[in-house]
Each structure stands twice: as C-alpha cells, then as structure tokens.
Chain A
Amino acid sequence: MSGGYKQQPGSGGNTVRKDGKRVAGKLKFQPPGAGGSNPKMKERDLDFIPESVGGKEPQPAGSHVHDRLRTGTVVGKEVALVDANPKVIGKAEYGDDVRLGGEIIGKILRSPHHYAKIKSIDTSKVEALPGVIAVATGADAPKTFGVLPVTKDEHAMAIEKVRHMGDLVACVAAVDEETALHALNLFEVEYEILDAEFDPRKGIEDVDEPIHWRGKYHVGNTNIQKRVFQEFGDRSLVESPAASSSRKWRFEGVHHGFTEPHAVVAEWDATGRLQLYTPQQVPHYTHRALSTVLDVPMHQINVIRTFVGGGFGGKSDPFPHEMCAAILARKAGRPVRITFDREEVYWINRGRHPSYIEVKIDADEQGRVAGFDIDALIDGGAFASFGHVTSYYNGVLATSPYELGSFHYTGARVWTNKPASGAMRGHGAVNTRCAVEVGMDEIAEQLAVDPIDLRLANLLPPHCRTITGFRITSNGMREALTKVREGSDWDNKFRKLPLGKGIGIGCGFFISGSGLPIHWDPNRFPHATVHIQIDMDGGVTVHTGAADIGQGSTTAVAQVVSEVLALPLDMIHVRSHESDTSPVDLGSYSSRVTFMNCNAAIRAAMEIREQLLNAAWEMTGYHPTTLVLNDRRIYYKHDPAIGVSYLEALHKAQEDVGALIARGAYRSPPMGGVHKGAAAGLAPAYSFSAYVAEVDVDVETGIVKCTNVWAAHDCGKALNPLSVRGQIIGSCHMGLGQVLSEKMVYGRTGHLQNANLLQYQIPSVHEMPHVTPIIVESSDPEGPFGAKEAGEGPLLPILPAVVNAVYDAIGVRPNTLPLTPDQMWSDIQKKMKELKIKDPRKLESPRLEHGNLQPVLEQRAEEHRIRDGKRQRTEDTSAYVNGALFGFDPNIPMEDQVEGWRSATEPEPEKLAELGIAGKAWLKQEQRKMGGDN
C-alpha cells in the first residue's frame, strides 16, 4: 500500500520523537466543501437592513419582529426565480414530460350525455382488443373523494350516473395512443337519459332527480348544494338611506386557462409502492384521496409534483384522472401516462362559478356605508369541489375594507349538469367585489362626491375587526388608494375626459392563507412544516411541501432561509417535489404559501442560526448577542476581523451531531367569531389593493380597450419585488380577461361551445394595457419579514376599475360580464333608446360637480389618515371594531348598545319572502326537518 493516508488527523507532517520513533503526523484537513468563487465576504448591505436594527431600510409601517433576523442578503431584492434556468433551457419536466420506461398510454371514456343513468358497461370487446393492457370502470373504485372533507362527492369514474358531458365513465390503457383511442370506441355503455339542468336559477326548485343526494341534509328535492345566510349589524340604518345602489349582475363562468393541460403518470414500483407524477398545486390532497380511493395506506404512495405549467386554482382538486392512472397502472403492472387534450381540460374545469349576484348598497347622509345587501347564486356545475367555501366567500370577503353599518348576505350554490366549478385565483371574492365596487361608484355619484374620497372616508383602520369578526392586522388600503390617485393623475382626469375615454377606480381585499387547514384540527397539526438539513459541505437543503406553480414559492422559501443564515441563494437547495421527502404542506391555494411556508422556513432557519451562533460563541468567546451573521461569516460586531467562517462554525456545530437538522412549523393564531361559518374567510392576514384603470371605448362598435392601469397592492413586504410585480401584472391580465372577453359559453343544448384556446378568448399581448405596479408595504406583524400574499388579491380590483372606467367614458353602467363588444354594443343601444338618440357618437359622458358632502368626506378621510398611521405603527393599540364609525363603543358588545343589532346565520321566517334569488333557497327545508325518511 502506498502512503499518504493518515489515520490520525491533526496539524503538521510526520515527526520523529526524541527517542527516534516515528509518529503519524497530524495533518490539517481542508474544510470539505470549501472552494468556489468569491472567497471574500461581502460587506453588509445596509440598504436592506431595517432601520430598527441599525440599517438604512426605511420602515414607514414600524418595526417588525423578524427585523433582528435580517442580514441584508436577499429579502427585498429582485432575484430571478431559483428554478428559472431549467425552464429557459427546456429541461423543466412538466406532467407530460415524465416518460418512464415501458410506459403505456391511458385514455378516458367520457360521457356524451349531460345527465344519465348508467345501466350497464360492457368492456369485453375492449379487453379483447390486442394492444389493450388494462381497462377500468367505476366499479374498480367505488369510494368517493373530494377536496373538502364535508363534500366528498366524486368518483374516479361514474358509478351510477354521469352528471355532465365529459364526465368520466371508464378508462383504458394500451400500448399506444392509436390503440387506446380506438379502444374507447369499443366500450358498450347503456345510458338512460335524465332531464338535464343548466340554469342555476332553477337549481333551487324541487326536481325528480337531484344531481346528488345528501340524505337527511339534502335541501328539499332541489339541487342546492350549499346555502348561506348571514346578517350582522344594525339593519335599521338602511331604512332611509341618502343614497342607494341596487344592481343585478350576471357573471359568466371563466376558466384558469393555464397553458399546461393536465397530465399524470402513475407507476407501481418494484416494492409495490405507487409513484404518481402529477402537476398539482395541492399534492397532499391528491395523496389523501389516492389513499382512500385505492385503499392503500398513504405511506405506500409517493406523490411527485412535476413542474406545474400554471395552476391558478385549477390544479388544486384531487382529480379523477389521477385515480384512473393509478388504477390502470396497478392493473397493467406498467407505468401509465394520461395527458389531456385541451377540451378535456375544460371538462374537468373547476373555474370560476357562473354567478347571478345582486348587490344593494345604502349610504347615509354622512356618506357612511349603512349596509351591504348581497345575494349570490352561484352555479357549481356537477360536483362540489371547493364550492362549500365559495358559497361563503362570495359574501364574507366583501365585508372589508369598508366599515359597514350592517351586512346582509344570502348565498346559494347549486348543482347543474355542467363541468364542475371550483376555486380560481381570487376564489369567490372576484365577482361580488366587482359588484360592490361598482355600487360604491354609483353611491359616490348619487352623493356627488369623488369615489376615491368616499372610499378613503370609510376605510377600516389597521388592527381592527370586521363586522363578521375577521381580525385585520396590517392594512395598506389607504396608502394604495392614495398612490394610485397620485400615479394616475386622477384628480385631473376623473369625469373630465372626452367621450369614449374614461378612468375608474376599484379596490380589493383578499385573504392571505385560510385560517383553518380544512382536513385537520389546527391545534393538532400545523399548517405548514419546513425541514432544513445542512451537512458538512455547507449546502443548505430545504424540504418543503409547498408547491411551486410558477408563482415562485420555492424562491421565496429559499430567500427567507438565505436571509436568516446570511448565505448566498446558490447555497440553498429547495426540495419540494416528493411527498416522501417533503413535510406535509397544504399546498398552493388561498394564497397561503408565502405567509405560512416562509414563516415555517424562518423558524427552521432560526434554529440553525442559533446552533451556528453558539458554535461561533464557543470558538470566538463572544456571546451570540454580540455576534453578527453576514455573508458566509459570523463575527464580533465591534471587530469584524474577529470571527469565523460559516463553514468553520458549521463544523463546530456538527462536532457531536453530524448534519444539522432543524424544522419549523407554522400554525395560525386563534381568531374569529363563533357563529356558523365564522371560519370561512378567516385568515392570519389580509391583502389590500386599489387600481385605477383607463379605457378607450369605441361607442360605435362597443369595443373596450384598457390602455393604462395603476395597480397598487399591499403585500406587506415584497420579499422579491420582481415576483410581486409579476404577480400584479399577471393578475391584471387574468382579471382583464374576465372583464373583457373570457367566458365559458354553454349553448342552447348545454354543450360547452368554446372548449379551446381560440374561442375561449384570453387576452393577447395587444390587449394588455400598460400596467404600473405599485408595491405597498404595510409590514404585517405576523408575516414573514412582514410579507402577505400577492398572488390572488391583485386580480380583484381590475374588474370594477374597468367597469367604472367604462361608465366614466360613455355613461353606460354594464352589469353583465364580460364586456364583449356585442354585449357592450347592446348596452349602448339600450342607453341610446333611453336618451332617444340615434348616433352613439352623440352620447355624453358623465360629469361631476362636488356636492356639500365632499368637504365632509375629505375632512373625515384626513382624520382617519392620522388615526390609521398611529394604529399601523402601533402607537395606538386600542381595540377597534367595525361600527365605531357609527358611534359604537368597541369595548361593549354591540347587541348591548343597539337594540336592532343582529348577528344571525339563519333568516327570520317572516322575512323569507324578501330574500333574493339565492336567498330563496331558504324557502326549502332540509330533509331531516321535513320528516322525510332519508
């Protein structure tokens, strides 16, 4: 054996003792992992270290509990997504890019009928076809699943009934696509056709064959899936309003329109475990549902999230085709790949609910909002999906940012024989928000005041409770409104532009993570968990279940770990694709990832930080409180030359334990009221936004073009301003699609007529206005470094801003979306008839003479500005509850102060007749109260 290997490490080479004996030398080990570029520590980036800890970063909203963790490394800086490179070189693997050896192709047989009973399925001819390897029908997987535990109403394939055209009936796997598609023709299915219903307004009537049956909880014999009633506040305030707006809206269904169609690959590996590759926003729910449907324990399933080619809520349900792939693969003993055609994407849908919404807003003589009356009938399609929650969101997410005298909401979600609606960006809040904001514009007009001033004089302050009991922490609404007003030069444009040109305002309010994890008790298991592992090489591996769907959650997690540990981003490696290695996470929905996952990641990083600081303490003799973490070094704050490198500290910390491992979890604080449905809409923080849009309306053709948008969004703290801006602009684009051109068109036969990207009209680059994103940072006290969501909230305000701008341009207030040219044209024709004019070019755009109320509102807004500033910086920590504007004392229960104060979740029987179309759902009784035998 040649020499060179020393058993005993140490310093120095071989030495010879005095007695002549040779002793093995003690060689100094080079720290493993050392090498690479920039071997010199960078100076601290004081511009990104908050003022409160001695840096230069301004903190207008006050200091934050995470300030002491800031090292100026990446937070607040524009960074490229950490997974951008695989995407730009074409190496990112999406669902259909997973190609396993020996794969076979799965195809799904879909229902040609809208609603029918399945009498029989004969698969014998399919099985006899050479090349067919596996066939499955509903009988192979009789267990139900669904994204919400309360409404599990889906099967892998139809069991007794098909409920919409395109519903899954059976599936087949064959050696190639030709054979699989051909095999679909050989299924013999006998159907008994039932009366299909496509009109949600008929969903509250009794029918012979409800689309689902909920037993004793079924409402009458109707197709009502969920109904909601909420009444809060002093209803006497709306009895004699000074201004009142009441509008009936119709919103068409819209689809997420992600560019990647659904795809799934399933393989049962040699150990008998299922490996399922799927582009999922919420892999964990798929994991759960697979376990139920396949009757396999969760630990025998590994769900691998591929890159996700856009989600927007459309890839967050556990899907039947995922079950189908697993079932086929189990039968075939080979990997099965199922990829959707674009049309199939529309069959599985889960887009925004087509809705009929009526909003009535009353204001009193002081320009205060006396009441919101909202009635929302939403078309759920054939399955429940997220609908239970959507039914609430349509009302409760309208209770802020304005202070309300009263709030009255009736909502109903009904089943129809259409592809299921579900969660889509801005879940449940978008349509009502549009109606509310347009109503506010109308109120402002009636009161002869500026709509921005009306809003500014009615905002809830930071750190308050809404009328239904949501706890609002940071609130950047006022700043957002002020900034878009300035940015857009509003005061010189509003009601002053020539015919055909208009400017409009809209606000938004959205949850930053839902307060309750829907599948478990939040006290028993956290919302999010993150693991960090660092071995001797110094690279930081972060394990998280957060699903990056392009919004940049992986980057955000990497950023916060990098910030706390003061390590460059390239040393942080996020592993988030596999359920085997990722701690359980609820996934990417309800805009929870930045808030919850980053908080968990910060906690894990803090644990590592402490271990490193303790090691440095041992090595330098300086107490951790006097040590500073900066770019890969830990040093004495008064003398940076005294310190150790990150690697030295790490090795010291590892001496006895090996790799450092830490975990952090996030759990939302207890909050919210106790009434039925109090949990819906609860969130640890809320985002606020205000947009001003400018439009050009061609009065002759009705074509609306949005030209400019000033978009201010309060995201708490922009961890990565590049991403936040990307989210804001992207939200504008998606919202603009809904307001201008996108709709799912169901023709007279109930068939979806535009299940393709040519006729489902998503705006192109030419339809995009110039968007000026304005980031408002209200520094949320509980958010990671103050951050809140930025992915969904920014979508909300664009709709009303455009609708209000259209009114400013031509004096026509539409109440049917989208504002397609033909829709707009017929609205204009109606207006012309009303005004008895022949030429649309003779229309007049509205003008504004400020009334007496204007100075009153301006003064109140100014007082509130001072109030809000103090509360935001916690100079004023007194309680504030919705109602204070109306003179109520926040410290005494409302019911004790006002006789008429109500807080109810069921309607009073004598008032049933007054309710709107969704409210009519309360005319029916549940089966258990009807004495029914079910």
Chain B
Amino acid sequence: MLKGYFTKHRLGPIMVGEEFVNMIPKAKGQIWKACVNGDAVEVIALSNAVLLDVLRDNVGTLGVKRGCDLGTCGCCAVMVDGEPRLSCLCLAGDAEGSEITTVEGLADGHHLSPIQNCFAEYGGSQCGFCTPGFLISAQALLNQTDDPSEEEIAKAIEGNLCRCTGYQQISDSIRAAASILRGEKENKNPTITPHSNPHPTGPEEPNMPPGHAR
C-alpha cells in the first residue's frame, strides 16, 4: 500500500437507531441440559454455543480455562461421558444430556483426588492455568490404567500445553497418583484436617535435648 493512500476503516453497513438491534446476528437461545459434576444443570444457551462458553459463562464452572480457544492448549479439557474432550471445540449442542466432569468435579468435597494432591505435591502445577486441563487428561488416563507407562502418560497429555513445568514434574505427579491408586502410597488427608496447634507441649524427658544446639 502506498504512502498517502487514504483508507477508511469503516466496516459493515451504517445504520442508525433501532435497526442495529436486528443487525447484530444472534443465534436462538435454547434450554440446554446436562449433568455437570453430578448436578443436573439447566441453562439457556445459544444454538451456536461452544461447550467452553456454556460452562464458563452459564454454568459457572470457571475452573475450565480458556487458553487458546482453538484446540491446542488443552486448558479447557473436560470429561464428557468419561472421555476427555476439548470443550472449546465441542458444540454445546453435541454435549447435551451428557455427564460432564470439570476440574471442580474431581475432588470429593474436602477430599482431593490423588491426582490433585500429587500435582500439588510433586510440582505438577506452577502457574496453575493449564492444570485443570492436565488434571482431566491425567484422570482420564488413570481411569483406564493404574500403572501407566512412560509412553502412555506422554500420549495422554500430548494435547495439553504447559509453559511452566517442562512436563517432567507433571509426569512425576501422574506416576505418583497411579501409585496411590495401586495402593502403594496413601492419599493425603482431606484439606480440613486439623492444622498445627500453636501451643504444643514440650518433651517429657528433660534430659534429652532434641537437637541440642551450641
């Protein structure tokens, strides 16, 4: 384009007044029903709605993250009828009537699932934005097997993008969660387990200085 060439950044037809309302193309709203994290949900969703938008804006499960919105980052992954799916590429209409599990549905109240505890404990989550998606992919894998191989883990999370961890500690977390499922390790206590008492008692045997320091 040449210098001095004037353009008008004017897009779309120009109308005034009420006519604009009709101009804004909007799809039809419909009742959308599904079972989200065990709860029956009924919301008004547009016919063209994408599952991600319905979950975030209508259902209110904000744990489902919008990262790239185009199917690469995997932050929006949710389970639809037990299968991990990219909610950003899933028409809400196609998921109607299904059982949907989001990251909010992984824990049982205060009892975090093994995979959640392990992501916290093994450094699987740094900034945490991709974590909901990874947890869904990982949980889907663990639903299939409690002894996943290195390749199976890689394949399960190949659709999720993490920019912080370099995936290694995510794999560690998944392996640790698998060992909990196999019964080799204990899951952590629920989050409401009583916390430290600031008024503890001292040692009973006065002659045994614990950690006698000079």
Contact = CB atoms under 8 A, between A and B. Distances in A.
B213 A54 contact: yes
A187 B25 CA distance: 18
B157 A765 contact: yes
B128 A85 contact: no
A82 to B, nearest CB: 10
A193 B3 contact: yes
Interface string B95-116: 0000000111011000010001
A92 B163 contact: no
B12 A186 contact: yes
A400 B213 CA distance: 40
Chief secondary structure at chain B's binding surface: loop
A87 B128 contact: yes
B21 to A, nearest CB: 6
Interface string B162-183: 1111111111000000000000
A21 B24 CA distance: 86
A37 B195 contact: yes
Interface in B163-214: 163-171, 191, 193-214
B166 A732 contact: yes
Interface stretch (A252-260, A437-445, A462-470, A896-904): A252-260
A768 interface: yes
Contacts of B73: 259, 757
Given A33-B198, A46-B211, A571-B198, A85 B4 contact: no
A178 B26 contact: yes
A645 B198 contact: yes
A726 interface: yes
B54 to A, nearest CB: 14
B166 A188 contact: no
A757 B104 CA distance: 26
B21 A130 contact: yes
Chief secondary structure at chain A's binding surface: loop
Nearest to A733: B166
Contacts of A568: 195-196
Interface stretch (B28-36, B57-65, B79-87, B140-148): B57-65
B119 A193 contact: no
B106 to A, nearest CB: 7
Interface in A870-916: none
B92 interface: no
Interface in B30-58: none
Contacts of A36: 194-198
Contacts of B191: 85
The contact size tier of chain A is: 35 or more
A331 to B, nearest CB: 20
A373 interface: no
Interface in A143-164: none
Contact of A187 (B9, B17, B203): B9
A768 B119 contact: no
The residue in B131, B171, B194 that gathers the most chain A C-beta atoms within 10 A of its C-beta is B131
Contacts of A637: 209, 212-213
The residue in B72, B127, B200, B213 that gathers the most chain A C-beta atoms within 10 A of its C-beta is B127
A676 interface: no
Interface in A283-339: 307-312, 339
The residue in A97, A131, A339, A726 that gathers the most chain B C-beta atoms within 10 A of its C-beta is A726
A88 B135 contact: yes
Contacts of B130: 259, 309
A85 B112 contact: yes
A93 B62 contact: yes
The residue in A72, A83, A550 that gathers the most chain B C-beta atoms within 10 A of its C-beta is A550
Contacts of B75: 259
21 contacts: A35-B197, A40-B200, A49-B213, A55-B211, A88-B119, A90-B63, A193-B7, A307-B127, A307-B129, A342-B69, A342-B70, A568-B195, A568-B196, A632-B198, A632-B199, A641-B203, A641-B206, A726-B165, A730-B126, A757-B73, A770-B168
Given A87-B128, A90-B104, A640-B202, 10 more contacts: A39-B197, A81-B126, A188-B8, A193-B2, A309-B67, A538-B198, A550-B126, A638-B209, A650-B198, A730-B166
